[in-house]
Chain A
Amino acid sequence: GDSVTQMEGPVTLSEEAFLTINCTYTATGYPSLFWYVQYPGEGLQLLLKATKADDKGSNKGFEATYRKETTSFHLEKGSVQVSDSAVYFCALSDQNRGSTLGRLYFGRGTQLTVWP
Chain B
Amino acid sequence: SAVISQKPSRDICQRGTSLTIQCQVDSQVTMMFWYRQQPGQSLTLIATANQGSEATYESGFVIDKFPISRPNLTFSTLTVSNMSPEDSSIYLCSGGQTYTEAFFGQGTRLTVV
Contact = CB atoms under 8 A, between A and B. Distances in A.
Nearest to B45: A103
A6 B42 CA distance: 9
Interface of B: 4, 6, 35, 37, 40-45, 48, 92, 94, 97-101, 103-107
Interface string A83-108: 00000010101010000111111111
Please provide the 8 A-B residue pairs with the shortest distance between their CB atoms, ordered closest to farther.
Answer: A106-B43, A43-B104, A44-B104, A100-B98, A108-B42, A43-B106, A103-B99, A93-B100
Contacts of B101: 100
Interface of A: 3-4, 32, 34, 36, 38, 41-45, 49, 89, 91, 93, 95, 100-109
Contacts of A49: 100
B76 to A, nearest CB: 15
Contacts of A41: 106
Given A41-B106, A95-B100, 4 more contacts: A44-B94, A89-B43, A100-B99, A103-B99
